[in-house]
Structure 1
């Protein structure tokens, strides 16, 4: 089984999860952490570590998404996972969007390996970016 963790600034993570739930239904394997103005980065790191350790202790793969390269959520993920980065059951992507989360959830339902889930999420994230005027000949 694959767990998903989304770590973002503000309410972005909860919003993406709500949207995914509207489209795909069950999002019980998705959790999130938000970093808001005035929050302590060290506490965010501790919360990230607790979520990761929970998945590891449950023998689950973990796909983590964050929003902005160089932002506090991504930086804390880098610090926390530095010792875990060689694990085959943990993957992390920056630049979360709805198409990549949906692809990840659908791939996880097929019991795909987290490395394959990551690959498909990256493709879906990039493929989801379109010029609407061009796509519809407007």
Structure 2
């Protein structure tokens, strides 16, 4: 089974785990790292690596972060790069609940690469304007590069 490590600003990683388990039930091989503004970044990096060690059973690990370019994402990427060649680690930045639910459902049955692809596709698919009267028509948003419509 693919291991999961959620890394975020503040307590968001813990809340994402709670929300995921609310939808799909209790999960094993899942760890969280919550990064605060006063935390030492080297300690955080060691914490991420320790979590990767704890959830890795040989099928790979996905580190999910809250925002591309943020400290959690940068630290996760550094950990993944430092471990390249020794084990399979993928980093997904910009996690959302549909992505996480999909990954939880496929991580026991699919290899790392396809599982990551399916999760990202699900995460993108479920980003939509829920109040269409207030949004530009879907085609117009895509043409302007301002967003994606479900299924694209």
Per the TM alignment, residue 46 of structure 1 is displaced from its structure 2 partner at its CA by: 0.6
Query: Tell me, what secondary structure is at the counterpart of 2:28?
Result: coil
Normalised TM-score (structure 2): 0.79
For structure 1, the residue ranges without an aligned partner over 5 or more in a row are none
Q: CA offsets, 1:76-112, max 9 Å, x none?
A: 1122221333567321100011000000000014x21
- Contact 2:8–2:65 under 8 Å retained in 1: yes
Query: Tell me, what secondary structure is at the counterpart of 2:64?
Result: strand
Kindly report which structure 2 residues correspond to 1:65-80, keeping only aligned pairs within 5 A, or say none. Answer: 65-80=64-79
Cα distance change of structure 1 residues 39 and 83 upon mapping to structure 2, 3 Å threshold? closer
Structure 1 position 6 matched with structure 2 position 6: yes
Query: Tell me, what secondary structure is at the counterpart of 2:83?
Result: coil
**What is the distance in 1 between the residues matched to 2:29 and 2:71?**
24
Query: Tell me, what secondary structure is at the counterpart of 1:132?
Result: coil
Per the TM alignment, residue 121 of structure 1 is displaced from its structure 2 partner at its CA by: 1.0
Normalised TM-score (structure 1): 0.87
- Contact 2:3–2:29 under 8 Å retained in 1: yes
The count of corresponding residues between Structure 1 and Structure 2 is: 133
Tell me the residue number matched to 1:118: 116
Tell me the residue number matched to 2:60: 61
Tell me the residue number matched to 2:136: none
RMSD over aligned CA atoms reads 1.8
- Contact 2:107–2:115 under 8 Å retained in 1: yes
For structure 2, the residue ranges without an aligned partner over 5 or more in a row are 134-152
- Contact 2:59–2:112 under 8 Å retained in 1: no
